[in-house]
DNA sequence: CGGTTGCTTGAGTGGGCTCAAAGACTGTGG
DNA sequence: CCACAGTCTTTGAGCCCACTCAAGCAACCG
C-alpha cells in the first residue's frame, strides 16, 4: 500500500499551506529530512484508525479523506472532510492515540511526519515551533461548524461554499468540482438523511443555483448560495 | 474591575489541570513569575471580546464563562461553557485576534498569562513546551459536540453528564450543582428553544432522573441519564 | 447480463419550533 | 416591609421541516 520516497518540500506546491511556511532554505532542508512520503491510498484505505498509537502527523498531498468516529453502538459519525495541504493528527499528541479514523475517499497521497522528530526539530528551529503553535491554534476554531439551528438547505449551502473556498485556495476551480464523498457521508456529517441531501440538491438545481450530476457539482450563482447559507 | 496580584501556582489547587503540570519547583516559580491574576469579574463582564487583539492566555480560577460569537446578522451563538482549570485563548495565536467573546456567568476570577512571555519561557523549559503542545492537542478533540442527530432529550442528558463530569474532576459534587447559565444560553448552545429546555427538564424530573429547581440541579439516577444520553 | 451499490422520488408522521400568555424570582425605592 | 418592574422560566396550542419507510431508477462491474 505504501512506498517511501525522499520528499522535497522545496518543490511542493502546497508548502505555503503546510508546516514549512516561514522556514528558510536551510531549515526547509532539515524539515524535509524528517518526513516520509506514503503513496497509493485508495478509496476506503485507512490513513490511521481510532485508538491506534500516535506516531505521525500526516499532511495530505493529493486526494481527500473523511474523518470518522465510531460510537458505543457501532454507529459511524463523520467528523470532517480533509483536502490537500491539510494537516492531520495533532489531536493525538495529548493521549498518544488517534481519536478518529481517517479513510481515503479517492486515490490519495500523504506525507507522514514522525512526531518525535518533529518535536525535536521544533526545539532547534524557533520558526518551526512558532508555525506549529500557529497551525494548532488555527485548528482550534473549526473552519466549519454544523449548526443545528440551520435548516437542511442552509447546512448544504454552507458546506458547498466551504468546500468551494477550500478548493479555490488550493488553486482548483471554486465553481466546478467533484464531491469525493457519498450522499450518505454528507448526510452523516451534516446531520441529515441522504434523501434530504438529494431533495435539496434537486431544489437548488431547479432554482438555478447550481447544476448537479451525481457527484459533479457546478455552482452557477454563488451570490444566491451565500444568501441561502445565511438564511 | 481588575486587581493585579502576585500569583502562586504552588498553592493553587487547580495547577494539576493547568499549564504547570509536570514542572519542577524551580520551573514552577519561573512560570508563576510571568502570570498576573485578575479578579472581580461579575456576571456579564467580558474577559475578552471577539476581534480584540490577542495578548493573553487566560486560566479560570473560579466561576464560569460562556463563549459566544456574533454572526453577520448580529445573532449571538453560544460556543461553549468554561469552568475552573480551563485555559482560554489558544485559538487566537494564529490570527492574533480573539475569535470569540468570553462573558462571565457569575463572579469569577482568572489568571492572565501574557503570550509573548509564555512563548519565550516555553523555549527555555522543554517540559512547558511539551505541556503546551499537549494542552492544545487536547483542545482539538472537542470535549462536547452538539450532534444534530440527537434528540432534545439526548442533547440535554449529554450536556448534564458533561458538566457533571467536569465538576467532579474539579472536586465538586457530580450530582448536585447550580447551572450558572440561563435556559436561553443552554438553548442557544444545544440548538434548542428555551421552552424545549424547560419541558425536557420537567419531563426528566417527572421520570425521577433528576430534581430541578430553577438553576439548581440534583442528578438522582446517573445510570438512566447515561442511557437517555445514548438513545 | 444480473447483482450490488448509490441516488432519487413519494407519502405519511412526529419532534421541536413558534406564538402567546401566565407564573416565579430578583432588585430597587418608597 | 411592601409594591412594582423587569427578567427568567414554565406551560399550552398549533404548525412545519425533516425524518422514516418504501420503492423505483441509474451507474458500475464482474
Q: Which of B75, B95, B133, B152 is the best residue to mutate to test the A interface, defined by the most A CB atoms within 10 Å of its own CB?
A: B133
Task: Give pLDDT tens digits for B140-195.
Answer: 988 899 999 999 999 999 999 999 999 999 889 999 999 999 999 999 999 999 99
- Mean pLDDT (whole number) for B36-59: 91
Taking an 8 Å cut-off on Cβ atoms, the answer to whether B91 and A141 are in contact is yes
pLDDT at A1 over 60: no
pLDDT number for residue B120: 93
Orientation of helix A115-124 relative to helix B126-140, angle to 10°: 130
Q: How far is the CA of A157 from the C1' of C8 (A)?
A: 19
For chain B positions 66-105, those within 8 Å of chain A (CB to CB) are 71-73, 77, 90-95, 99
CA separation for the pair B58, B78 (Å, rounded): 19
Mean pLDDT estimate for chain B: 91
pLDDT number for residue B128: 94
Taking an 8 Å cut-off on Cβ atoms, the answer to whether B129 and A123 are in contact is yes
Taking an 8 Å cut-off on Cβ atoms, the answer to whether B149 and A72 are in contact is no
Beta bridge partners, B41, equal B108
Shortest CA distance to A148 belongs to which of B72, B231, B200, B146?
B146
Cell, residue B207: 421520570
Taking an 8 Å cut-off on Cβ atoms, the answer to whether A94 and B230 are in contact is no
Closest CA of chain A from B98, distance in Å? 10
Task: Give pLDDT tens digits for A18-65.
Answer: 998 889 989 999 999 999 877 789 999 999 999 999 999 999 999 999
What's the per-residue H, E or C state across chain A?
Answer: CCCCECCCHHHCCCHHHCCCCCCCHHHHHHHHHHCEEEEEECCCCEEECCCCECCEEEEEEECCEEEEEECCCCCEEEEEEECCCCEECHHHCCCCECCCEEEECCCEEEEEEEHHHHHHHHHHCHHHHHHHHHHHHHHHCCCCCCCCCCCHHHHHHHHHHHHHHHHHCCCCCCCEEECCCCHHHHHHHHCCCHHHHHHHHHHHHHCCCEEEECCEEEECCHHHHHHHHHC
Residues above pLDDT 70, as percent of chain A: 97
Closest CA of chain B from A169, distance in Å? 18
Q: How far is the CA of B154 from the C1' of C4 (A)?
A: 36
Identify which of B73, B134, B191 has the shortest CB distance to residue A94: B134
CA separation for the pair A107, B31 (Å, rounded): 48
pLDDT band at B2 (very low <50, low <70, confident <90, very high): very low
Residues of A in contact with B69 (CB under 8 A): none
pLDDT at B1 over 50: no
**A137 to chain B: nearest residue by CA?**
B91
B181, closest nucleotide (Cα–C1'): D8
Neighbour-count burial of A25, counting CB atoms closer than 10 A to its CB (0-12 exposed, 13-18 middle, 19+ buried): exposed
Identify which of A91, A133, A138 has the shortest CB distance to residue B141: A91
Q: Which of A35-39, B50-54, B65-69 has the weakest average pLDDT?
A: A35-39
**Which residues 135 to 194 of A reach strand D, CB within 7 A?**
151-153, 191-193
Cβ neighbours for A56, distance < 8 A, ≥ 6 positions apart? A48, A89, A112, A113, A114, A115
* pTM for this prediction: 0.92
pLDDT number for residue B5: 54
CA separation for the pair B20, A147 (Å, rounded): 35
Shortest CA distance to A44 belongs to which of A62, A59, A64?
A64
Residues of A in contact with B149 (CB under 8 A): 191
Identify which of A73, A90, A190 has the shortest CB distance to residue B137: A90
Mean pLDDT estimate for chain A: 91
Orientation of helix A115-124 relative to helix A126-140, angle to 10°: 120
Amino acid at each position: 500500500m505504501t512506498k517511501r520516497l525522499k520528499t522535497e518540500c522545496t518543490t511542493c506546491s502546497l508548502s505555503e499551506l503546510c508546516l514549512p511556511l516561514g522556514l528558510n532554505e536551510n531549515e526547509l532542508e532539515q524539515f524535509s529530512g524528517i518526513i516520509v512520503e506514503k503513496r497509493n491510498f485508495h478509496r476506503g484505505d485507512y490513513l490511521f484508525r481510532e485508538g491506534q498509537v500516535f506516531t505521525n502527523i500526516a499532511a495530505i498531498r493529493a486526494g481527500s479523506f473523511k474523518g470518522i468516529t465510531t460510537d458505543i453502538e457501532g454507529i459511524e459519525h463523520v467528523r470532517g472532510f480533509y483536502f490537500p495541504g491539510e494537516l492531520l493528527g495533532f489531536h493525538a499528541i495529548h493521549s498518544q492515540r488517534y481519536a478518529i479514523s481517517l479513510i481515503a475517499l479517492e486515490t490519495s497521497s500523504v506525507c507522514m511526519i514522525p512526531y518525535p522528530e518533529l518535536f525535536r526539530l521544533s526545539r532547534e528551529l524557533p520558526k518551526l515551533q512558532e508555525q506549529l503553535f500557529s497551525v494548532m491554534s488555527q485548528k482550534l476554531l473549526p473552519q466549519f461548524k454544523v449548526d443545528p439551528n440551520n435548516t437542511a438547505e442552509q447546512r448544504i449551502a454552507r458546506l458547498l461554499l466551504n468546500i468551494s473556498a477550500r478548493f479555490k485556495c488550493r488553486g482548483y476551480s471554486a465553481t466546478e468540482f467533484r464531491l469525493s464523498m457519498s450522499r450518505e457521508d454528507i448526510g452523516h456529517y451534516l446531520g441529515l438523511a441522504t434523501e434530504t441531501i438529494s431533495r435539496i440538491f434537486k431544489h437548488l438545481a431547479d432554482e438555478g443555483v447550481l447544476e448537479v450530476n451525481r457527484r459533479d457539482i457546478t455552482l452557477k450563482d454563488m451570490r444566491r448560495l451565500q444568501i441561502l447559507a445565511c438564511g
